[in-house]
Amino acid sequence: MKKYLSKIIAQDERSLQMISALCSEAKVKAEEIRYLPKNSIFLLSLKRLSVETENKNLSINSILKFDFVNSCRSKNINISNKDLELELLTIDIYKNKEQFEISLIFDKNRIIELKSEIIECNLEDQNQSNAT
């Protein structure tokens, strides 16, 4: 089997939906969520299943990065809890006036909402783990 690491760039709603599908059910540790307001970047390290390959049980460590983020807020997430593990269910997006509101929806009614004037998102695989 050929091994490769992928990078997907989303600059519109349709491509962001593809990233959402690839990240569905991904595991995220709260301590690996970062918002860098000075750089306008939001970063999320996640462990997702390789739904795009034949081996659906292959686990991949990936970075989800949003650029040009003007604000970030969370609901029901204690980032300082180093033991908290979240499950990313989906990424929703809608346009409100001149800004996009991007909602990362997790299990147990946990949400991170990002506001940005444009859609600029990267999903980049870091490495592959053993089957889960």
Stated pTM of the model: 0.88
Sign of CA dihedral 107, 23, 48, 31: negative
Which residues are registered as beta bridge partners of 6?
none
Averaged over successive runs of 10 residues, the pLDDT of the chain (132 residues) comes to 70 94 93 95 92 72 96 92 93 93 97 96 82 46
